[in-house]
Amino acid sequence: MKSYIAEGIKKLLVSNSRCARNTQVYDFKALLVIIAIINSYTVYLTFLSPKLNPELHWIAIVTFLINGSFFLIQLATISPLGFSLREIYYLFMVIFMFVAPLIQYISGQFPWWDTHLLTNERIIYTNTLILLFAVLFELTYTKTKGHARTFVGKIFQKEIKHHRLYISWMLIVSALYFVYVFRKASSIVLLFSRGTYGKVFTEVSQPVMLILDITLAGISVNLLAYVIATAKKRSSSSNRTLLALSSLLVILLNFPTGRARFWTGAVYLGIFLAWKRVIKTKNAFKIIFITSFIILFPLLNLFRTQAINVVLGSNIKPPTFLETITTGDFDAYSMLVRTIAIVHEKGPTNGRQLLGNLLFFVPRSMWQNKPVGSGHEIAQRLGWSFTNVACPLVGEAYINFGIFGIPLFAIVLGYVTKKLDSVYYGSVVHFSCNVRAIELLYPFYIGFLFFILRGDLLSSLSYTIGFSIPVFTEVLLESILSSKLLGRSAITEIQH
């Protein structure tokens, strides 16, 4: 039965394989529908604005429309699995670099302060850089070969063969972590709201907090992903028990209203994609993602500072999307313009910010001048007291190397996304009884990439890598065990 299902999935994927061979297949009907919906929604939100920006410039609006058209055309591409990292890139660009900033520009309501920096000239220049980044990303993605012969690619293709070992240590660590969190919390209700979740770790240092909050909390998610992947390959009564137990641990340790919105999105979207593996209905993922983002993103913000019982027992109304889209939640574009302004005034950091991002795990006590996040850095340079702001990936490129950072970051992003898309596609097409590392990480990278694109890179990269550590740890254990087994078999053969 399993082989029959696998063969059916394989035929479905092979029929769409032109997408995986660098030949873009576009669904122009979907393109027209997406354009109609987004344009209608943009016009609707613009007319809800109490006033229009008196300094509107037609060239700036044209650059927004050119960028938006490019993003939407690329978004109309049919993905062989129904979703991909490339797709999430263009979903981000449509929302954060087209719709949100266009509404903010027309209404004259950009988030935060120092809005005088967002001149028409800088907006036109920023949109030109965004288009350049997107074009170079697309060219790199299209030209990059899909095979995974690199060292990193081979790691993602590693199979987890020691089934009981993997489940055992992950289940034990997840259970112990839950006991630890439960003992630290005066009430389990504290775990159900982001406003109270942080109080559980008030006596914990920041580095330890990151380990607890990311890696240990993510182990239960990795475990659930593995159980789901195993259940897809072979069903048994033990799998059903593990599925129920791991699901319970995920909900308790990663309750949707108790964690940061990006983490909630990455975790639960990843679980959904790990379960589906292939979304057969064309464009269903895009519709689900955009709809969920519009509805859930403002709603989850209610639990950011208050306990869940306070929110549910009050008459607090969730903000409308218009109220949300002009606030700090959608500050990626405006912070990009401010980043460009600061770099023009004081120059790029020549890779210093990037070095701090890559060495995020080094304690600040050992590196006194360790760079802060790029969003924090820009806010400090502007003299703001509030520094928890975004810095999108395009801004990270510019603050590090100026104009030369745009092609560098775009090419790297295009290359990495193509490789990961191809490796995961291959793992789905080529059915195996064992679960591969990519199957446990890729579905969650869909959400984490959205976070990386919004920024800043320091926090998003640390969360992504921290989440991946348990899987890479298992890959290392598998390699060690395989080496020992090979060594023993060689000794046995010599003795005989």
Q: First and final CA of the chain: distance in angstroms? A: 42
My answer on whether omega of the bond before 213 falls inside 30° of 0, hence cis, is no
Grouping H, G, I as helix, E, B as strand and the rest as coil, residue 26 is: strand
pLDDT, tens digit, 9 for 90 and up, residues 273-315: 988 888 887 778 888 888 777 766 666 666 555 555 555 555 6
To the nearest whole number, what is the mean pLDDT of the chain?
80
Q: How far apart are CA 458 and CA 448, in angstroms?
A: 13
Grouping H, G, I as helix, E, B as strand and the rest as coil, residue 160 is: strand
pLDDT, tens digit, 9 for 90 and up, residues 380-432: 999 999 988 999 999 999 999 999 999 999 999 999 999 999 989 888 877 77
CA nearest neighbour of 127 among 77, 74, 76, 57: 57
Grouping H, G, I as helix, E, B as strand and the rest as coil, residue 424 is: helix
Q: Is residue 67 within 8 Å of 94, Cβ to Cβ? A: no
Give residue 46's pLDDT band: very low, low, confident or very high (50, 70, 90): low
Of 103-107, 237-241, 488-492, which one has max mean pLDDT?
103-107
Q: How far apart are CA 276 and CA 254, in angstroms?
A: 21
pLDDT recorded at residue 312: 53
Give residue 333's pLDDT band: very low, low, confident or very high (50, 70, 90): very high
Q: How many beta carbons lie within 10 A of that of residue 258, not counting itself?
A: 24
pLDDT for residue 59 is more than 70: yes
Q: Is the dihedral of CA 342, 346, 350, 353 positive or negative?
A: negative
pLDDT recorded at residue 15: 43
Grouping H, G, I as helix, E, B as strand and the rest as coil, residue 176 is: helix
Give the pTM: 0.86
